[in-house]
Amino acid sequence: MKGTKYIDTLKRPLKDLRISVTDRCNFRCSYCMPAEVFGPDFAFLPRSEMLNFDEIKRLATIFVHLGVEKVRLTGGEPLMRKDLPLLVSMLTSIEGLRDIALTTNGIFLPKHAKALKDAGLKRVNVSLDALDSDLFQQINGRGVQVKPVLKGIDAARRAGLGVKINMVVKKGLNDSQILPMASHFKNEGITLRFIEFMDVGSTNGWNYEQVISKKEIHNLIHNEYPLEVVEGQVYGDVAKRYRYVGTNTEVGFISSVTETFCSSCTRARISTEGKLYTCLFAETGFDIRKLLRDDAMTDEDISDAIVKVWERRADRYSDERTEESARKRKIEMSYIGG
């Protein structure tokens, strides 16, 4: 079955896999893991309920045989998972896997960037929502200043990793940081991606009034630093890509609310406890861990189960978003990543 392209009910192929390796994080960002919910007594998953590295590799190998070309490791904060470079090296050995990436808040990159690169990691996306340290401390909920994140970005670049920055923009919170972030990373020659505030999970208090649209952000930047469209964008990419005129430095916009991209979504997600989700906004998942831990189940059996889930996939949440659907209980981002 290797190389076969499986499509869902909307003709979308399975090409990308996101694997959450931990539900823990050292930050408490309000749009992901608000401190009032994920407090000191919050019950995180015990290690026995998380997929181990052998299970993750086995599962990733099956997905690659089904047509997946790229794997992204997420969390939580994935670098809180012990020995993560070992997992990266295990995944690197999978024949046919073209790309392995990591989403991180950057704090642990000075310690791990070189080992991750040596293990085969290609690139990192670093989450940073403000350059103003007082505001950033407020956003991350842990009093962490900007400087450690910038050090992490520098460490990743020195190690030879590709780097992109992700900024979630929330009206009235950090929209004042749009131009300072654009200016800083333009000067650094690093791609910055602006992400509309989304109703992921059920605990971030989302409402549409807090959304700064892709169009608004684009126009604000374009008026200060003229932008031009990057040609040749790839099917399945979530970011609409632009570059600063006269440079090779890009800006991306992920507009899940105002300019949806459900029609070209090629992503499957594995949660920390081993459930398969076919949408970032899903309410329920399919228990893959149960199959992995059943000695009677072969790789072919697990592959067949995944194909059945994908071929029934009809998710287009962002296309159909309503006030009512936004209030429904959904899986938290800390379990399936962004």
Q: For residues 76 and 90, is the Cβ–Cβ distance under 8 A?
A: no
Q: Which residues of 2-37 are buried (b: 16+ CB within 10 A; e: fewer)?
A: eeeebebeeebbbbbbbbbbbbbbbbbbbbbbbeee
**Domain for residue 324, yes or no?**
yes
Two structure tokens written together for 113: 């960037």
| DSSP H or E run through 158 | helix 146-158
Residue 12, pLDDT score: 96
In a domain, 2, yes or no: no
pTM, 2 dp: 0.93
The pair of three-digit structure tokens given for residue 303, joined into one six-digit string? 């592959």
- The residue whose two tokens read 């209980």 is 329
Tokens (6 digits) for 50: 């998380």
163 within some domain: yes
Mean per-residue pLDDT over the chain, rounded: 92
Structure tokens at 89: 């090296």
Residue 4 lies in a domain: no
The answer to whether residue 5 sits within a structural domain is no
Residues of the chain with pLDDT under 50: 1-3
Cα dihedral 306/308/311/312 (nearest 10): -120
* pLDDT score for 244: 98
> What CATH number has the domain bearing residue 307?
3.20.20.70
Read off the pLDDT of residues 230-251 as tens digits, 9 standing for 90 and up.
998 888 888 999 999 999 999 9
- What was the pLDDT predicted at 220? 98
CA distances 122 to 48, 72, 138, 168, 320, Å, are 29, 10, 31, 23, 35
The pairing of beta strand 123-127 with beta strand 162-169: parallel
Structural domain contains residue 9: no
Q: Phi first, then psi: what are they for 231, rounded to 5°?
A: -80, 160
Query: How many of the other CB atoms lie within 10 Å of CB of 248?
Result: 9
β-strands 123-127, 267-270 pairing: unpaired
Amino acid identity, position 32:
C
**Are the CB atoms for 60 and 14 separated by under 8 Å?**
no
Q: Is residue 8 part of a domain?
A: no
Q: Which pLDDT belongs to residue 327?
A: 64
Residue pair 129/167 in contact (Cβ under 8 Å)? The answer is yes
Distance CA 14, CA 5 (A): 7
Tell me, what's the pLDDT at 33?
84
Three-state SS letters, 3-63? CCCCECCCCCECCEEEEECCCCCCCCCCCCCCCCCCCCCCCCCCHHHCCCHHHHHHHHHHH
Query: What domain range is 314 assigned to?
Result: 16-336
Q: CA–CA separation, 283 vs 301, rounded Å?
A: 25
pLDDT at 36: 84
Give the number of domains in the chain.
1
Per-residue tokens: 251: 């800006």
Residue 6 placed within a domain = no
